[in-house]
Amino acid sequence: MKASIGGYTRAETVSHALSLLAEANGAGRLLAGGQSLIAALNLGTTSGDMLIDIAGIGALRGARIDGNRLIIGALTRHADIASDPLIAEHAPLLAKAAPLVAHDAIRNRGTIGGSLAYADPAAEYPACAIALDATIILEGPNGTRQVAAQDFFLGLFETARADDEILAAIAVPMAADGERHVIREAARRSGDYALAGLAVVRRDGRHRIGAFALGDRPLLCEGAMAALDGGDIDGAVAALATDVDPTSDTQASAAYRRHLAGVLLRRIAIDLGVG
Amino acid sequence: MTDSFQSRIDLEMTINGEAVELTVPAGRHLIDVLRHDLGLTGSHVGCEHGVCGACTILVDDSTVRGCLTLAAQLQGCEVWTIEGLTEKGVIADLQKAFVERNALQCGYCTPGMLASAKALVEAEGVPSRETIREHMSGNYCRCTGYEAIVDAIETVARQRADETGARSRAGETVAKARAGARS
Ligand SMILES: Cc1cc2nc3c(=O)[nH]c(=O)nc-3n(C[C@H](O)[C@H](O)[C@H](O)COP(=O)(O)OP(=O)(O)OC[C@H]3O[C@@H](n4cnc5c(N)ncnc54)[C@H](O)[C@@H]3O)c2cc1C
Ligand code: FES
Ligand code: FES
């Protein structure tokens, strides 16, 4: 099917994009890499949008250190996340997640901001953001807002971002010495959206687990985290089964997804040398 | 429509080495501009939502999905399709290996396969078969069963690595000779 859109324009700066959003009067839709949006347009799940192409806003691209946080611009592409040495050193979880996101050609254009804003429950970065205790930085007509990742993802494709706001960056606490980051997922074909996945951070002996494709949003798995802190793998796997809330679809049943989550957690425990 | 938004977009880009000026509907996909407006039907369309890889082409030296790219996004970009790559001869060895290994049957996936494989054989060293499969995972083939495609890519990666090795060994000899001449 062919995309049906209302119009197209390019934004030069963040403030320009915000004024274009205001001008579009509710019909404006930000276009970053287009790797989810254009697919949605082709499938006819959205139409008549006034596209505001933000891909040329240089200030939103790349990673930099700010105090003890790594700030990654919304327009940083998946391929850059996978190869940027700053990200590999200070946010290795994201560097490990990027190669799991889609395929080479899609990683060359898709952006981390687009993935976080789109909030697909099967996407890797939102779960990583939760496991990392990251902060989402939004720019709107009334200035900058910072929202904890855990409060940002509200439901299926639903976030705390208001329609007149741009997701500008994600801020990640820089990994400390000895911190461990692991991500594992099960997918039918390498690069496809996961059937189940877990992103885990071990910081100062405590674990944070973000689950993806296991609910209507990325989930922080507090029961499994507490058990893992105590070195109890069987307890963690049992708790995980109630932490997650998967649904059945044509790809996999809820029971199968729940089973996969347990298998992934056991493998991650081995990676981390727990138990 | 408000003033800032346009329904038709004027574009300048380079396609297969030629400068092109176009005016396209704002929602027109790159793949449709290539196939329908410019008659470059070598790039194929399968799923139109990014899954099959048949529309994979090169923009500014990186692979992209032609079906997930609007032409409007590519002002000033350089686009290469299978027609231009063939004419330029830059993947002649890959094409030869695909034929020799029988790495295509109906050929529908082949232009996308070649665009994806190009990046891999241009990288340094010889990728493992596992790396080749991983890299090519975004390109579906419904005919060959992939084994022959992996063979062809592996063959070319090895040939190119041998040639680079031979060239750099020759380079070293020259460098040593120069160094010797100086001392
Ligand atoms: C075949 C295929 C497989 C895929 N597999 C995976 C996968 O395994 N894992 C995964 O995580 N993703 C996957 N994706 C999606 C891919 O990662 C997208 O790149 C990403 O979800 C969206 O990023 P984008 O820059 O392309 O955003 P776009 O498609 O441009 O935008 C997506 C949405 O976010 C909004 N948006 C974009 N940027 C901003 C911003 N800065 N501020 C506010 N709103 C914004 C847009 O308005 C739009 O609604 C896949 C896609 C395809 C086609
Ligand atoms: S037609 Fe573009 S990926 Fe299938
Ligand atoms: S040769 Fe027919 S789809 Fe690959």
Mean predicted confidence (pLDDT) in A123-138: 98
> Do A154 and A81 reside in the same domain of the chain?
yes
> Do B132 and B172 reside in the same domain of the chain?
yes
> Do A70 and A151 reside in the same domain of the chain?
yes
pLDDT tens by residue, A8-57: 999 999 999 999 999 999 999 999 999 999 999 998 888 789 999 999 99
CA of A81 to the centre of ligand 3 (A): 32
> Do A91 and A134 reside in the same domain of the chain?
yes
Range of the domain at A30: 5-53
- CATH no. for residue B80? 3.10.20.30
A191–B138 CB contact, under 8 Å? yes
Interface probe for B, chosen from A36, A100, A108 (most Cβ of B below 10 Å), is A108
Q: Which residue has the higher pLDDT, A180 or B2?
A: A180
d(CA B183, CA B172): 16
Name the band, by pLDDT with cuts 50, 70 and 90, for residue A1. low
pTM of the model: 0.95
> Do B65 and B121 reside in the same domain of the chain?
no
- CATH no. for residue A224? 3.30.390.50
Nearest Cα of chain A lies from the Cα of B70 at a distance, in angstroms, of 8
d(CA A145, CA A168): 10
Structure confidence at residue B167 (pLDDT): 72
DSSP 8-state class, residue B3: T
Q: How many domains does chain B have?
A: 2
Q: Which residues of B touch A42 (CB under 8 A)?
A: 48-49, 67-68
> Do B99 and B175 reside in the same domain of the chain?
yes
Q: What is the 3-state secondary structure (H, E, C) of B14-77?
A: EECCEEEEEEEECCCEHHHHHHHHCCCCCCCCCCCCCCCCCCEEEECCEEEEHHHCEHHHHCCC
Range of the domain at B51: 8-86
DSSP 8-state class, residue B125: S
Q: Which residues of B touch A32 (CB under 8 A)?
A: none
A23–B135 CB contact, under 8 Å? no
B70–A3 CB contact, under 8 Å? yes
Q: Which of residues 116 through 175 in chain B touch A, CB cutoff 8 A?
A: 116, 119, 133-135, 137-139
Domain end (from B86, B113, B146): B86
Mean predicted confidence (pLDDT) in B99-118: 98
- At B87, is the secondary structure helix, strand, or coil? helix
For residue A95, give both structure tokens: 């560097």
Structure confidence at residue B183 (pLDDT): 39
Name the band, by pLDDT with cuts 50, 70 and 90, for residue A274. confident
d(CA B179, CA A25): 69
Q: Which residues of B touch A191 (CB under 8 A)?
A: 137-138
Q: How many domains does chain A have?
A: 3
